[in-house]
Amino acid sequence: MKIPEAKQFLGKRCNVTYLDRHGSQITKSLRVEDVTFVPLYGAYLIGDVEDISLDRVTGISVLE
């Protein structure tokens, strides 16, 4: 997922599905606070519960 795609979810409560470091799929419910580029790490989705690399995100669905 790219930064412009993820920005449409700012301020919304979403289910975010992503792959962990072992390749297992994980789904978490979080409020998307920001989407930003972190030098040396790449694009990140900043949530109220956890920060997730956009490279690992496989899907986002809005709950509200």
pTM: 0.86
What CATH number corresponds to the domain at position 16? 2.30.30
> Domain limits at 58?
3-62
Residue 1 pLDDT grade (very low, low, confident, very high; cuts 50, 70, 90): confident
Contact 35, 45 (CB under 8 A): yes
Give CA–CA dist 39/1, Å, rounded: 17
pLDDT mean over 57-62: 96
Chain-centre distance of CA 41, in angstroms?
14
Condensed to tens digits (0 to 9), the pLDDT of residues 4-30 reads: 999 999 999 999 999 999 999 999 999
Q: How many domains does the chain have?
A: 1
Say whether pLDDT at 64 is over 80.
no
